[in-house]
């Protein structure tokens, strides 16, 4: 069955007239949502801890900033854009005791709702608008008159206006210029985690690291190994983005295509391990492992960060990347990314 997709003409922005939207968090997604909604004429307030370094960044953009508790008292819609591991505490400590009985709760990822870390009462509408791109791209595309696609869902709809509000929010974000695909909190959460763990991060990163090790352990120069297993990956992914797997294949030599077709690195056993990872996502064991570790101060997470930040490929990578002029130019989006994702999102602290 074809996916249901909505565009600009399918939403009425006036649905948000007279409603105040509180954006909780001002990192990569937070700044994009707050600024795009503000520029679309929506009444926006940003909720942050008073001591947060993000307060000054938000105020410099002309946004009203209050504590999360005070923002929750005023808001008709609260969008949670703090990191997953902090959302439940923010909700229970600062939002739930202060929000109005009919406040709508919004999310850009279904994690906390799907796994039950946040359980809003039945009087609250619960919806999702999840951009398929990082926040600085969401903001840049909006400013250029374009948009980044989103997936949208409504989990609770006590008043019957849930889809009207969801699509109006997506339109204010600029997303309906590109399109909004209907999903559910369950589907978005489980597929998002699976993609991260098995293809985009846990797949690609480990393939690159392992390929580099195999070549260098066989005596090949690290610089040559880096070019072959890491550098050229971006060009291949760009081709996939432009025209799918077929364009990526057709753009390469017959030799490369034949090697692709006959490779046995990814086989049925890989698929079995992917199914195992998916099962852990579906039954909640991955979420519990991650959240329990975070609640304990993230000792295992920090240990893994330290371990994987010192892979051998990272010893040669910086030197070679400095050779690529396009990595060193004054691109406007790189400046914006550093401003917001670098200085704010990387802090990864509660309420930011």
Gap between the Cα atoms of 258 and 263, Å rounded: 8
Give 327's contacts (C-beta < 8 A, 6+ positions apart): 321
Residues 6+ apart with CB under 8 A from 220: none
Instruction: Judge whether 33 counts as a catalytic residue.
Output: no
Separation between Cα atoms, residue 317 and residue 55, nearest integer Å: 35
Binding residues for substrate, as ranges, are: 253
Q: Which residues of 228-267 are buried (b: 16+ CB within 10 A; e: fewer)?
A: ebbbeeeeeeebeeeeeeeebbebbeeeeeeeeeeeeeee
Which residues define the annotated binding site for Mg(2+)? 192, 196, 228, 232
Token pair for residue 2? 């074809």
The SS3 of residue 199 is helix
The secondary structure of the chain in percent helix, strand, coil, rounded to multiples of 5, reads 55, 10, 30
| Burial (CB count within 10 angstroms: exposed 0-12, middle 13-18, buried 19+), residue 176 | buried
Q: Kindly state the DSSP code that residue 4 receives in the 8-state scheme.
A: P
In the chain the first and final C-alpha atoms are separated, in Å, by: 39
- Report the binding-site residues for NADP(+): 26-29, 49, 52, 54, 135
- Which residues are part of a known binding site? 26-29, 49, 52, 54, 135, 192, 196, 228, 232, 253
Q: Which of 109, 114, 124, 136 is catalytic?
A: 109
Burial of residue 191 (CB within 10 Å: 0-12, 13-18, 19+) is: middle
Q: Rounded to an integer, what distance in angstroms lies between the CA atom of residue 163 and that of residue 125?
A: 10
Q: Which residue has the tokens 């949502």?
A: 33
Cα–Cα distance list, 101 to 26, 52, 125, 157, 158 (Å): 25, 28, 10, 14, 12
Residues classed as catalytic: 109
């Amino acid at each position: 069955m074809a996916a249901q997709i909505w565009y600009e003409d399918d939403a009425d922005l006036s649905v948000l007239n007279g409603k105040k939207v509180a954006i909780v968090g001002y990192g990569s997604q937070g700044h994009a949502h707050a600024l795009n909604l503000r520029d679309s004429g929506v009444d926006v307030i940003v909720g942050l801890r008073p001591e947060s370094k993000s307060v000054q960044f938000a105020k410099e953009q002309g946004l009203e900033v209050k504590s999360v508790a005070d923002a929750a008292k005023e808001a008709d819609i609260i969008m949670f854009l703090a990191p997953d591991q902090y959302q439940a505490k923010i909700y229970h400590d600062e939002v739930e005791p202060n929000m109005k009985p009919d406040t709508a709760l919004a999310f850009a990822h279904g994690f906390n709702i799907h796994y039950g870390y946040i359980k809003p009462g039945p009087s609250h509408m619960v919806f999702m608008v999840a951009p398929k791109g990082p926040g600085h791209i969401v903001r840049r595309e909006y400013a250029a008159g374009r948009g980044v696609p989103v997936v949208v869902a409504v989990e609770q709809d006590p008043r019957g206006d849930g889809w009207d509000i969801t699509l109006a929010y997506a339109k204010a974000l600029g997303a309906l210029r590109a399109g909004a695909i209907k999903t559910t909190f369950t589907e978005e959460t489980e597929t998002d985690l699976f993609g991260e763990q098995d293809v985009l991060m846990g797949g690609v990163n480990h393939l690159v690291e392992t390929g580099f090790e195999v070549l260098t352990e066989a005596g090949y120069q690290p610089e040559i190994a880096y070019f072959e297993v890491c550098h050229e990956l971006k060009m291949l992914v760009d081709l996939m983005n432009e025209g799918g797997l077929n364009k990526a294949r057709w753009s390469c030599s017959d030799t490369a295509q034949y090697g692709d077709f006959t490779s046995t690195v990814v086989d049925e056993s890989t698929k079995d391990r992917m199914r195992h990872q998916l099962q852990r996502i579906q039954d909640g064991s991955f979420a519990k492992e991650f959240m329990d570790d975070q609640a304990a101060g993230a000792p295992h997470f920090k240990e893994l960060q330290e371990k994987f930040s010192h892979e051998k490929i990272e010893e040669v990578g910086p030197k070679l990347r400095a050779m690529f002029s396009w990595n060193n130019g004054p691109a406007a989006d790189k400046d914006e990314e550093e401003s917001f994702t670098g200085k704010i999102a990387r802090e990864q602290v509660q309420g930011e």
